[in-house]
Chain A
């Protein structure tokens, strides 16, 4: 009997719901940003998987399209300070980010001259 329950559970989780996979542009610099972005994304109801890569500034998102939408996830990420899918960030939120995460003024993780180059 219990074996059957285990098998049922096994099958139930294998069945794919209304799952969609997409990538979203999210601004950010470093691993601290990564933790913040991913937390905001995964805390959104309906999001199954969220991994952000700093070098591409892209978030890979797997979510249930019946429960949420990319715009909702993006809004939640913007609310913690990271411009996502073009959704702007409140100045006060941005200013509260640690210095290394303040992506607008260049990425301090890149060589200083490269950042300067980008600013010009």
Chain B
């Protein structure tokens, strides 16, 4: 008996749930009885073996590889449906038919979800894909995190305009930054290193919350951020990007590639930026943003021989960066080291070479070797007023890793050796300090992957460091999935240690007349003990459905408990001191987040974060200054469907930054400062697959901190201080740019 069947199929894009494969997921219903899902309907790609059936709720998920073009959905008594268009990207389909022979389909193509939280990994990893990176039109890695709820952005100081990245309530030195798994932001790179990677070079970013992997080192405490640069093999032959903002920032990126042979590809990345315009929106007589220029050149080589199992990368980079800060009329030629005008200059020269090779045994696919080697030199010369700080940092990094299995491929391990040398030569206010650190470490990481409910990673490393001595670093990650991956629970714990490069990490204090107090600056580690902390975390991800839209909710709590810490104490006006922690220090964070692809083209994200960050100072246990108690985050994205390569994309990001504690000044005692809100927005017009134009605005509410430079009227007086910055210095800012590629 044939009834007129309405079939309503909603294929909802949860999209790629993990990095390599996209997933198309959705529900299949019988529209005659729309409350009744069709259980056991077959969903598969035409001419492939990839397929699945809907479950008790009519739900399915299916991997989407680029070669899959036609999705077929069949069920007994219904006509088989062919979904043919819009499948290059994950889709949402509402399909209805009153007559089995006349199928009407409405297909709305939808972009893949650009922020992907990995559900199969034991670690709490979020991948920021290239689509997401486009939302941060400007300009370098330090600005690529503003649409990401896991990362907070702070203002480093009132001079350099540098932004500081923070995770779980701890700033960047406690996060391990790696570039293609090679530590990249160590030593003297800490303060400005993120601004040395142009955003257009970045392919994706992986953010791991909590303890990282022992294979990357012992240093990650609150998390790990890995950046993957664009690989020569997949790069477009030519890419050009230009950017200009009303505050005078101009950026140009040119990227090319050449295929030398089927096995060898090379690409050249050129970046230049400049700011010549002097701006002083908060009317304190000081530049809001430094005058700056940068040249950054990267040459990469990629080698691949799939038959023999060899892969390799080599790269060479050179960077030159110059910044001028201080009073508007400061002219280095005339006023340098004088006491008429206050100003400063920072000149950085950096080069690095990296080599990566990997070998997969052709007959034994689960066994591989990898070797990475990197050498870099970073020289920074600078002065802030009459405070001179020069640093030269040379680093050698060698890493050998072997991967195989124990018994079978459900039990994998990685083991290897790591050797690092860091050589520092600093001149701090006239005192020369030489530091030489060498570390050799061995690591072993076991992972159990049931591919179903339970995953586990156990890691242990043993290091021998010339000043830290020998020590063990344990890390544990557990994952448990319930109800077919709709509920995921994770636990992690791990210890981390590091040597604090106090001057390189806290350069902002040179931009003040604070008197430095430290016991033994020329001793190893400046006479301080190494920092040591445990990080514990729990996270819960829940996938649900709201008005038949997929909603992902996340809830996590992390705590970092320091056993040793270098306390940076600037509680007393006119003074700055570094000493070992005697007492307690912890950073605790709570995050609730929710995201959905509402309707077909609207992307909504929300997050609330609460922080409890306290340290025992000489003057007692206090909330760490300039750390907001809470943050609210909302993101709204909208895009039209792609028609003949044309598309509109728009987004808006709202941040509410909660109360922060300010340290005491000569004029005021320590107090809580009110929160503020920031709104930024961007509009992109894709004219064709080759060309797009974007227009954006930052800080639309025009929030400005007027008292960023304390004692501005007398920069050579004791009250002068540029280190207490809690809000933007520059108000509303408009920018525009284009992207062109072949």
Give the B-binding residues of A (Cβ under 8 A).
2-3, 6-7, 9-10, 13-14, 21, 28-35, 39, 42, 47-51, 54-55, 62, 98-100, 107-112
Contact = CB atoms under 8 A, between A and B. Distances in A.
B444 A47 contact: no
Given A3-B442, A21-B363, A42 B408 contact: yes
A2 B46 CA distance: 54
Interface string B43-54: 011111111110
A55 B50 CA distance: 10
A10 B415 contact: yes
B402 interface: yes
B462 A48 contact: no
Query: Which of A7, A33, A99 counts the most B-chain CB atoms under 10 A from its CB?
Result: A99
A32 B51 CA distance: 7
A31 B51 contact: yes
A82 to B, nearest CB: 13
Interface string B22-64: 0000000000000000001010111111111100000000010
A98 B72 CA distance: 16
Given A99-B40, A112-B80, A54 B50 contact: yes
B279 interface: no
A105 B42 CA distance: 15
Interface in B465-513: 472
Contact of B53 (A62, A100, A111): A100
Contacts, number: 96
A30 B415 contact: no
- Chain B contact residues: helix, strand, loop or mixed: strand
B42 A2 contact: no
A19 to B, nearest CB: 8
A109 B366 contact: no
Contact of A42 (B72, B410, B415): B410
A38 to B, nearest CB: 9
Interface string B393-406: 00000000010111
Contacts of A10: 402, 415
B415 A9 contact: yes
Contacts of B366: 48-49, 62
A30 B47 contact: no
Given A2-B462, A9-B415, A109 B406 contact: no
Interface residues of B, number: 36
Contacts of A108: 42, 44, 51, 74
B40 A98 contact: yes
Contact of B49 (A9, A55, A98): A55
Given A2-B472, A9-B415, A100-B52, 12 more contacts: A14-B402, A31-B63, A34-B49, A49-B408, A49-B409, A55-B49, A62-B364, A62-B366, A99-B42, A99-B53, A108-B44, A109-B44
Contacts of B66: none
B409 A31 contact: no
Contacts of B80: 112
Contacts of B462: 2-3, 6
Given A13-B413, A109-B47, A6 B52 contact: no
Contact of A48 (B42, B407, B443): B407
Contacts of B415: 6, 9-10
B218 to A, nearest CB: 14
Contacts of A50: 408-409
B507 to A, nearest CB: 37
A39 B450 CA distance: 9
Given A6-B442, A10-B402, A98-B40, A107 B49 contact: yes
B49 A30 contact: yes
B620 interface: no
Nearest to A47: B408
B451 interface: yes
Contacts of B52: 30-32, 100
Contacts of B63: 31
B365 interface: yes
Contacts of B364: 21, 49, 62
Contacts of A33: 49
15 contacts: A2-B462, A6-B462, A9-B415, A13-B413, A31-B49, A31-B63, A32-B52, A47-B408, A54-B49, A62-B364, A108-B74, A109-B47, A109-B49, A109-B51, A110-B46
